[in-house]
Structure 1
Amino acid sequence: MAKSLESEHPIKAYGYAARDSSGVLSPLTFSRRATGEKDVRFKVLYCGICHTDLHFVKNEWGISTFPAIPGHEIVGMVTEVGSKVDNFKVGDKVGVGCLVGSCRSCQSCANDLENYCPKQILTYGSPYYDGTFTYGGYSDHMVANEHFVLRWPENLPLDSGSPLLCAGITTYSPLRHFGLDKPGLKVGVVGLGGLGHVAVKFAKAFGAEVTVFSTTPAKKQEALDGLKADHFIVSKDPEQMKSVAGSLDGIIDTVSATHPIAPLLSVLKPSGKLVLVGIPQKPLELSAFSLIMGRKIITGSAMGGMKETQEMLDFAAEHGITADIELIPIDYVNTAMERVFKSDVRYRFVIDVANSLKTA
């Protein structure tokens, strides 16, 4: 007989879970494994709400397992370390992002690209090495192998810094990998949401001239005055799009809704790069002609490996980059999910887990 969630591991845990694809979250008692010799256990202090969490709890990609405890923008304080842990001690501030495991032996892992390991283990909803499923940061505590635990910079705020563990690395990584991190380059950011606003901050810190593309004219002041973008274009206005045709070195497209790609390709210079980091539910329509005429590139990028994620956190701390957040108690999470669906947040919800999750 299969063990219950409360008894499959020896350490009692408590969190908020979706039981089915309705996506409604409610308290759940479950369990986590004992601290292994290379494990770090920590009390969860804050956890960001990513749009991926919403996709997963509603099973919009058809891959979800239930019950599902989401959350992969997790910051906490170490409460216990295994006997062979080298880099952390009790009391340290730490973070866990999108990954808690990988094969550690493939070419991707050898090149510090655990995020592209074919056997990667996601922070929630993935089978772990022992066959049990992973549960995320909408919970009172976590345990993870130290390789997948990040050192938290001393001067980086815990609450507004937590979204960097997904939104931050998901935009920082393509800027770095595709060479869009050089001063003077002209970089576009499509969508001014949880990912987009952080992408603007990183691109500006790299010295780029940044153009924000949005379907919402009302976001112009936020983009130019609040985030210090250089230009704002209403992407559904053909005249505004024509005014920047062929002008950008690269674009980071953060939009997770289905949207036209051809207009974005038109604003790239020859050999320009359109990098997708949002995940629309429907396939994108793409004309080969729009790529061939200009030798343009359309590509994608998924978060980053552990080494690069640590690099990103240190860069953010050095340049004062955090997410703009709305801090919420965990019992507001269902309302927050509804607001995420409506894009009604500026720009990231963060759950104050330690101060609002009352254990059973």
Structure 2
Amino acid sequence: MITANARAVYGPSDAFKATTIDRRDLDPHDVLIEIKYAGICHSDIHTARSEWGPVNYPLVPGHEIAGIVTAVGSKVTKFAIGDRVGVGCMVDSCRECENCQKGEEQYCLNGNTLTYADVDKYGQRTQGGYSTHIVVTEDFVLKIPEGVGLDVAAPLLCAGITTYSPLRRWHAGPGKKVAVVGLGGLGHMAVKIAHAMGAEVTVLSQSLKKKEDGLRIGADHYYAASDSETFEKLAGTFDLIINTVSAKVDVNAYLSLLSLDGTLVNVGAPAEPLSLNVFNLLDQRRSFAGSMIGGIRETQEMLDFCAKHNIGAEIEVISADEIDEAYERVLASNVRYRFVIDIITMTA
């Protein structure tokens, strides 16, 4: 077994504590990664605090992982020692079902294996990237292109692919008007990627306090969603709206902003149900959809796209001792725009 230093939480209201965890010895197709940076996703907070269901503690979160390959199994062909790599939300899937065969492992019909808070094919609980090392089968490891720093690349493994996938699926590009609801960890990536795809991008944020940032990173327009006049002015405007907010929003109000055949896509995952008036879908043949990360092939495509367009996350690097404070700041929307843990600070 391989021993890794980590930060774990032992209960839904507990603080993070330094600990050590075991990583399996390498199978022939496994890759050992020395983690350099790990992003903090809102999903980490939901899971650590048991807001999405029961959790087996202790828990080591983290599915925005960037690091360096330090060892490979005897049959690994995709990676070599020294490669710059990443790991996202999944570390395995059945690879046999219809969806896996299509390269959509995130929708594995037999259930994929999540990077943390799951059980792998060995019967062991998975633990995530708030740790110094991780072992992952080579088919679920991504190459981080040269020119993209590992620190700004880490959030791409979740926030980047979560927004890239629906933008690509619903054809964001020249001639398309795209709105992004919320300018947080997910939202700022949606703005950058939609802008690089050539779309006309509008941010719909609760207030105008981040307007300067939004325009700087690629938004063409910026409106306060808290202003009722915004919804009157923009009614019937957008081809695509990406809702990145993980809190309850007025779905019907945002549907009214769609043009004919427009689509509202939820990538934020609020813990409580959302209310929907079906007549708002019937009008203008609108659609309300959801999207969850992307498959391994599409995630690599996203990383290559970001490298080509010089896209990285806007980050604040923190030490391992600042995770609890970072969680509270995320909940208070007091981060611009993604916390990234420097794993060199991950002492036992």
On the 8 A contact 1:23/1:57 being kept in 2, the answer is: no
Partner of 2:345: 356
Instruction: Work out whether residues 74 and 162 of structure 1, in 8 Å CA contact, stay in contact via their aligned partners in 2.
Output: yes
- Aligned counterparts of 1:45 and 1:185: Cα–Cα separation in 2: 38
Q: What's the counterpart of residue 267 of structure 1?
A: 257
- Residue 77 (structure 1) aligned with residue 60 (structure 2): no
TM-score in terms of structure 2 length: 0.98
| d(CA) in 2 for partners of 1:329, 1:153 | 25
Q: Offset at 1:237?
A: 1.4
**What pairs with 1:1-360 in structure 2 (closer than 5 Å)?**
10-118=1-109, 119-180=111-172, 182-224=173-215, 226-353=216-343, 355-359=344-348
* 1:40–1:78 Cα contact (<8 Å) kept: yes
Cα separation, 1, equivalents of 2:210 and 2:85: 34
SS of residue paired to 2:335: coil
In the TM superposition, what is the alpha-carbon distance from 1:149 to its structure 2 partner? 0.3
Q: Which runs of 5+ in 2 are unaligned?
A: none
Say whether the 8 Å CA contact 2:18–2:347 is kept in structure 1.
Answer: no
- Across the two proteins, how many residue pairs are aligned to each other? 347
Look up the SS of the partner of 1:358 in the other structure: coil
3-state secondary structure, aligned to 1:293: helix
Task: State how far apart, in whole Å, the 2-side matches of 1:237 and 1:133 are.
Answer: 46
Distance 1:65 1:341 in 2: 23
Aligned to 1:4: none
* Residue identity in the other structure for 1:62: G
Deviation of the 1:236 alpha carbon:
2.1
Query: Could you state the TM-score of these two structures normalised by the residue count of structure 1?
Result: 0.95
SS across alignment from 2:6: strand
Q: Is the 8 A contact 1:23 1:54 kept in 2?
A: no
3-state DSSP of counterpart to 1:240: helix
Residue identity matched to 1:318: K
Q: Deviations over 1:238-264 (max 9, x none)?
A: 212211111110000000011111111
Asked if the contact 1:234–1:241 (Cα under 8 Å) also holds between the matched residues in 2, the reply is no
Q: How much has 1:164 moved relative to structure 2?
A: 0.4
Residue 234 of structure 1 and its aligned partner are, at CA, apart by: 1.1
Matched position secondary structure for 2:17: strand
Give the Cα separation in 1 of the matches to 2:244 and 2:55.
22
Are the aligned partners of 2:207 and 2:223 in contact in 1 as well (CA < 8 Å)?
A: no
Q: Structure 1 residue 63: deviation in Å? A: 3.5
Report the counterpart of residue 5 of structure 1 in structure 2. none
CA distance in 2, matches of 1:269, 1:96: 37
The 2-side partners of 1:85 and 1:202 are apart by 32
3-state secondary structure, aligned to 1:29: strand
- The CA RMSD measured in Å over matched residues stands at 0.9
Question: Following TM superposition, by how much is the alpha carbon of 1:23 offset from its aligned partner in structure 2, in angstroms?
Answer: 4.3
User: Which structure 1 segments of 5+ residues have no match?
Assistant: 1-9
- Distance, in Å, in 2 between the alignment partners of 1:12 and 1:159 is 23
Partners in 1 of 2:147 and 2:217 — Cα distance? Answer: 21
